Structure 1
Amino acid sequence: MKNKTVAAWLAFVGGPLGLHRFYLHGMGDTLGWALPIPTALGLYGIQRVQQFGQDDQLSWVLIPLLGFTIAACALVAILYGLRQPQQWNARFNPQASADAPAGLTNWFTITAIAAALMVGAAVLMASLAYSFQHYFEYQIELAREISQ
């Protein structure tokens, strides 16, 4: 039986590592194995900023990968938590009845939804702000070079 609350928390906390995909679809899930790649690249981007400073252009691309991956996993946690019990059990527990306890929503599920909404929105906005700021700073520098 695949529990909706466990899946929502795994998507929120361990989503960038693919834990929710492994829980729901098994260890052979391709997307579950692919999720750590943008996470690792984003962490590498953070390391590059610490090592080379904020003018490192490669980190401008890598850091948002981490943010967008975290935000996408938070969205998945919200979608899991808001799914109707009948739909959840039909998709992930087809051998169980439509009103099986594994698909029911409880306060732990609601807490996962609220936490995923707060953290996911904050990370998404921070990633967008970081990306746009560095993109426009780069464009201004290019314009200055052309004008001189």
Structure 2
Amino acid sequence: MKSKTVAAWLAFLGGPLGLHRFYLYGLFDTLGWLLPIPTALGVYGIQRVLEFGQDDHYSWVLVPLLGFTFAACALRAILYGLTTPEKWNARFNPQAASDAPPGRTHWGTIFAIGLALMIGTAVLMASFAFSFQRYFEYQIEEARKISQ
């Protein structure tokens, strides 16, 4: 029996590592094994920022990968939490009744949805802000080089 609440929390807390995919689809889920790749690249981008500073061009691409991956997993947690018990049980617990307890929404599910909404939105906006700020600063620097 796959619990909607557990899946929502795993998607929110361990989504960038694919934990929710392994919980729902098993250890042979391809997407579950692919999710850690952009997460690791994003962590590598943060390490590059700390080592080389914010002018490192590779970090401009790598850091947002972590943010976008986390935001997508937070969105998945919201979608899991908002799934009706009938649809949840039909998809992940087909042997159970349509109103079985694993598909029901509890307070834990609601907290997972709320935190995923707040933190996922903040991470997504921060990723956009970092990307656009670095891009426009680079454009201004290049324009200054041309004008001199």
Q: TM-score range by the shorter chain?
A: over 0.9
Alignment correspondent of 1:51: 51
Alpha-carbon RMSD across the aligned residues, in angstroms, is 0.5
Name the amino acid aligned to 1:59: S
TM-score (structure 2 length as normaliser) = 0.99
Once the two structures are TM-superposed, the CA of residue 147 in structure 1 deviates from its matched residue by 1.5
- Unmatched tracts of structure 2, length 5 or more: none
Q: Secondary structure at the match of 2:146?
A: helix
- Unmatched tracts of structure 1, length 5 or more: none
CA distance in 1 between partners of 2:36 and 2:131 (Å): 21
Equivalent residues in 2 for 1:1-148 (5 A)? Answer: 1-148=1-148
TM-score (structure 1 length as normaliser) = 0.99
Structure 1 residue ranges, 4+ long, deviating more than 2 angstroms after superposition: none
Once the two structures are TM-superposed, the CA of residue 29 in structure 1 deviates from its matched residue by 0.4
Name the amino acid aligned to 1:134: R
Which range moves more in the overlay, 22-31 or 137-146? 137-146
Identity %: 77
CA distance in 1 between partners of 2:90 and 2:147 (Å): 63
How many equivalent residue pairs?
148
Q: Secondary structure at the match of 2:112?
A: helix
